[in-house]
Amino acid sequence: MKKFWKINYILYRNAIRRDLKISLTVLTGSLVHLLDGVVSLAIVLIVYSKTDFLGGWNIYESLILIAFVQIIVTLHSSWTKRGTADFTEKYVRMGDYDFYLTKPFDPMLSVSISKPRVYNLIRLPFFVAIFAYSVCHLEYNLSIINWGWFILLFVASFILFYAIRILTISPAFWIVKSHSLLVITDRMQNIMKYPANIYPRFFILFFTTLLPIFAISYLPVKVLLFDPKLSYIIYVIVLTALFLFLARILWRAGEKRYGSASS
């Protein structure tokens, strides 16, 4: 674990050094990320200007949900998004994955964290502030138990999001030009940011089981704001373990199939 964090430290340090040399790219990238977050928030505010409740959730509850989703998405976008995207677009196609396979560090993790983008974190303080503001504004009596379970589910959600991402990039081992699958995780946040009960029953079933994005967003926030049902908590944790296991199995199977593009 110590090695993992040390490697991350070096990768982020190197990313900052690189970004300092390409300041214009960083500036445009930062603006785009910030704007994307603001637009996503604006849409929710427009919806709430026409109604007081959405699926039974008031505006502050929804803001907590949207901020929570954005925090998870932003952390991933800074930490694992570029590396996993490069895996489908470059590493497998060009054979650069060879180097990851010959290093004494888990290649799946190694690929995922290989290209951190520090500037993607620009919208993190913005959404943390919205989260904090909305929690304060609600004036709910949130107990330590609520917060404890919520933090646990935050970690689980983060891992579950990552596992889904790995499941969408692993087909690259079989189908070289499969990067269009990345759209799945890129677009997930559009569904995750609204309370689950606004969707039809079939959608809810699909997005809590086969593509369990409601377990990433809706359930953790529900556990924080309302009654922390043990069934929800167990469900999210079991689902996270299961998806991570599946991701691992698929990746290992893919590695056996990996043909390594010739030099």
Partner 1 sequence: MPIIKAHKLTKKFERSSFDWKNFRFQKTENTAVNAIDLEINEGEFVGFLGPNGAGKTTFLKMLSGIIYPTSGKAEVLGYDPFEKDYKFLKQIGLVMGQKNQLWWDLSAKDSYDLLKEIYEIDETIFKKDLDLMIDILDMRKFINTRVRNMSLGERMKCEIVAALIHQPKLLFLDEPTIGLDIVSAQAIRKFLKEINQEKKCTIILTSHYMADVEALCERLVIINRGTKVYDGSLSNLRQKYASERIIEIFLPTLEDKEKFAHLPGKKSLNEGRGTIRIKKNEVGEVAKRAFENFDPENITISDVETEEIISKIFTSKN
Q: Does 50 bind partner 1 (CB under 8 A)?
A: no
Instruction: Establish if 24 lies at the interface with partner 1 (CB under 8 A).
Output: no
**CA–CA dist 207, 189 (Å, integer):** 12
Q: Does 118 bind partner 1 (CB under 8 A)?
A: no
Q: What share of the chain is helix, strand, coil (3-state, %, to 5)?
A: 80, 0, 20
Please report, in angstroms and rounded to a whole number, the separation of the first and last CA atoms in the chain: 34
Residue 201 binding partner 1, by CB under 8 A: no
Closest CA to 62 of 203, 154, 195: 195
Nearer to partner 1, 36 or 96 (CB): 96
Asked whether the beta carbons of 220 and 154 are under 8 A apart, the reply is yes
The Cα–Cα gap between 250 and 171 comes to 8
**With binding defined as CB under 8 A, does residue 262 bind partner 1?**
yes
Say whether residue 98 binds partner 1 (CB under 8 A): yes
Q: Phi and psi dihedrals of 80, rounded to 5? A: -120, -10
Say if residue 246 is exposed, middle or buried (CB neighbours under 10 Å; 0-12, 13-18, 19+). Answer: middle
Nearer to partner 1, 9 or 226 (CB): 9
Least separation in angstroms between residue 257's CB and partner 1 is 8
**Nearest residue (CB) to partner 1, 3 versus 50:** 3
Choose between 101 and 136: whose C-beta lies nearer to partner 1: 101
Per CB under 8 A, the list member of 95, 142, 186, 191 interacting with partner 1 is 95
Residue in the block written with tokens 């699909």: 206
How many CA within 13 A on the CB side of residue 247? 22
253 scored as a contact of partner 1 (CB under 8 A): no
Q: Which of 27, 32, 94, 205 binds partner 1 (CB under 8 A)?
A: 94
Cβ at position 118, least distance to partner 1 in Å? 13
Q: Which residue from 104, 201, 202, 231 is in contact with partner 1, where contact means CB under 8 A? A: 104
**Which residue's CB is nearer to partner 1, number 79 or number 126?**
79
Angle (nearest 5°) at CA 184 between 154 and 97 = 90
Q: Is 184 in the site for partner 1 (CB under 8 A)?
A: no
Select 6 or 229, whichever has its Cβ closest to partner 1.
6
Q: Does 22 bind partner 1 (CB under 8 A)?
A: yes
Report the sign of the C-alpha dihedral through residues 250, 255, 256, 257, in that order: positive
Q: Which part of the chain contacts partner 1 (CB under 8 A), choosing from 31-39, 130-138, 205-213, 255-263?
A: 255-263
Alpha-carbon radius of gyration of the chain:
19
Neighbouring C-beta atoms of residue 16, cutoff 10 Å:
13
Q: To which residue do tokens 């404890």 refer?
A: 148
Can residue 177 be called a binding residue for partner 1 (CB under 8 A)?
no
Ramachandran region of residue 143, left (φ > 0), alpha (ψ -120 to 50) or beta? beta
How many residues form the binding site for partner 1 (CB under 8 A)?
A: 27
Residues that bind partner 1 (CB under 8 A): 3, 6-7, 10-11, 14, 17-18, 21-22, 94-96, 98-99, 101-105, 255-256, 258-260, 262-263
